[in-house]
Amino acid sequence: MTTHHPISNATSPLSLRERVRVREIFASGGIKDGLDIAKCIALGATLGGMAGQFLKAAAVSTEKAVETMKLTKRQIEVTMFACGAERIGELENGKLVKVDR
């Protein structure tokens, strides 16, 4: 028997791994940059897959693919810095979407 857990609000931080009792959640499909990966982690993913951008770069050259990987890493680092996360695991606390009022 499969239990479905609908996500009612994708803009709020979720404890999705606890709700569905899995260890890893892989986010993929339509991810275009490091910011998208950081957002997915903030929403509960543990991994982010981004094939399209890397395939486009690899079609040009190996160097372009490496450049794209470095850019993606840098985008994640800048996003982490902007929200005060020293480690990528700190994004899991929903720092990208938390609003203090």
pLDDT tens profile 13-67: 455 555 666 678 888 889 999 999 998 888 888 888 899 999 999 999 999 999 9
In-domain check, residue 99? no
In terms of residue numbers, what domain contains 36? 23-92
Residue 27 has phi, psi (to 5 degrees) of -95, 130
In-domain check, residue 10? no
Domain total of the chain: 1
CA–CA gap between residue 9 and residue 27 (Å, rounded): 16
In-domain check, residue 3? no
Q: Which residues are paired to 27 by β-bridges? A: 48
In-domain check, residue 77? yes
Model-wide pTM > 0.85: no
Cα atoms in the Cβ-side hemisphere of radius 13 Å centred on 92: 15
In-domain check, residue 13? no
Instruction: Report which of 69, 36, 40 is spatially closest to residue 55, judged by C-alpha positions.
Output: 69
In-domain check, residue 7? no
